[in-house]
């Protein structure tokens, strides 16, 4: 199911050319919205929307809380494109398909990728409703050989062996921390390490304890493949996790997690996340990613 599906450069280019022919927007920033976070697209002005099913080469999103639309528009004077819903391994998509939009964004002229997700907390100090600025990730499927860069390398996008040690842009992380202090919400914003697991089941207690001991602060079922491809393409990356639940790490704990609960917490904190992303883009210099 997850073997390397061969997608050539021309396939990405055809999708990019189709989009460029359908819209006058020329985005410099792309935003990928996680479960329940599609409201980020609502902030865009002069919107133009495309259903994934209408875009040549795009997969279809099947997860509740993912609208399955690509929205172009302006935010604080900057041209953006927003994915209302992403694609996941557990839906049966190959990793080439899961990350397909990222390379299309590169060909559209995007320079900065903002990724968001809903995640469970492993850090004892995190609470549902908190926000985590992603400073690094552990890509467990990637460590097991399920990597979107497997197979022949496309030199038109990036090198065979791309470095990932600094893939989350430190300047944007610092800028985001400054913003949350000014917004008065620093008490529930953290910087931490995200781990991707395959899903779709949530973690067992033993798995949660292992992740915690490895230094993982939050865990989810997405994001890492998209970030790997973005890093390979040379895009600047900034990531946010909305903490929607505490992962059960004790056999005595009778609590459990479900997707509906994840969506409910996403709604509660959505405005804060929206303000943070909006202000970040407002202050971002898309040419050199510094505070303007």
266 within 8 A of 65, measured Cβ to Cβ: yes
- Is 93 considered catalytic here? no
- Is 91 considered catalytic here? yes
CA–CA distances in Å: residue 121 to residues 221, 225, 243: 13, 20, 6
- Is 118 considered catalytic here? yes
- The residue from 117, 139, 222, 241 that is catalytic is 222
- The residue from 30, 83, 221, 224 that is catalytic is 221
Instruction: DSSP letter for 8, please.
Output: -
- The residue from 91, 147, 153, 177 that is catalytic is 91
- The residue from 16, 41, 66, 232 that is catalytic is 66
Q: Give the SS3 label for residue 257.
A: coil
Written as one string, the DSSP assignment of 129-190 is T-EEEEEEEEEHHHHTT--TT-SS--TTT--SS---TT-B-HHHHHHHHHHHHHHT-GGGEE
- The residue from 2, 60, 212, 259 that is catalytic is 259
- The residue from 2, 90, 207, 270 that is catalytic is 90
37 within 8 A of 122, measured Cβ to Cβ: no
Written as one string, the DSSP assignment of 63-94 is STT---EEEEEEETTEEEEEEES---GGGT--
- Is 35 considered catalytic here? yes
- Is 222 considered catalytic here? yes
Tokens of 250: 């004790």
Residue closest to 119 by CA, chosen among 271, 275, 279, 269? 269
- The residue from 16, 25, 35, 83 that is catalytic is 35
- Is 88 considered catalytic here? yes
- Is 74 considered catalytic here? no
- Is 245 considered catalytic here? yes
- The residue from 118, 119, 224, 284 that is catalytic is 118
- The residue from 245, 266, 279, 289 that is catalytic is 245
Tokens of 239: 């990531």
Q: Which residues are catalytic?
A: 35, 66, 88, 90-91, 118, 221-222, 245, 259
């Amino acid at each position: 199911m997850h073997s390397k599906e061969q997608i050539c450069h021309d396939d990405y280019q055809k999708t990019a050319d189709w989009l460029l022919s359908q819209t006058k927007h020329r985005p410099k920033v792309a935003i990928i919205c996680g479960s329940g976070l599609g409201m980020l697209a609502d902030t865009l002005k002069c919107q133009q929307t495309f259903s994934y099913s209408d875009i040549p080469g795009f997969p279809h999103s099947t997860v509740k809380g993912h609208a399955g639309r690509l929205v172009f528009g302006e935010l604080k004077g900057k041209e953006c494109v927003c994915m209302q819903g992403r694609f996941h391994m557990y839906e049966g998509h190959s990793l080439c398909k899961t990350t397909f939009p990222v390379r299309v964004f590169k060909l559209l002229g995007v320079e900065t990728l903002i990724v968001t997700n809903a995640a469970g907390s492993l850090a004892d100090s995190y609470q549902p409703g908190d926000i985590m600025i992603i400073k690094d990730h552990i890509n467990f499927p990637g460590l097991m050989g399920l990597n979107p860069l497997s197979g022949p390398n496309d030199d038109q996008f990036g090198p065979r062996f791309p470095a990932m040690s600094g893939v989350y842009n430190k300047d944007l992380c610092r800028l985001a921390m400054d913003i949350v202090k000014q917004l008065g919400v620093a008490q529930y914003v953290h910087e931490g390490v995200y781990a991707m697991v395959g899903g779709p089941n949530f973690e067992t207690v033993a798995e949660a304890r292992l992740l915690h001991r490895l230094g993982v602060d939050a865990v989810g079922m997405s994001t890492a493949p998209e970030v790997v491809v973005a890093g390979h393409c040379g895009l600047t990356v900034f990531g946010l996790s909305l903490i929607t639940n505490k992962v059960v790490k004790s056999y005595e704990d009778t609590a459990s997690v479900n997707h509906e609960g994840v969506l409910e917490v996403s709604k509660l904190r959505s405005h804060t996340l929206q303000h943070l992303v909006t202000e970040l883009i407002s202050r971002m210099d898309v040419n050199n990613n510094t505070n303007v």
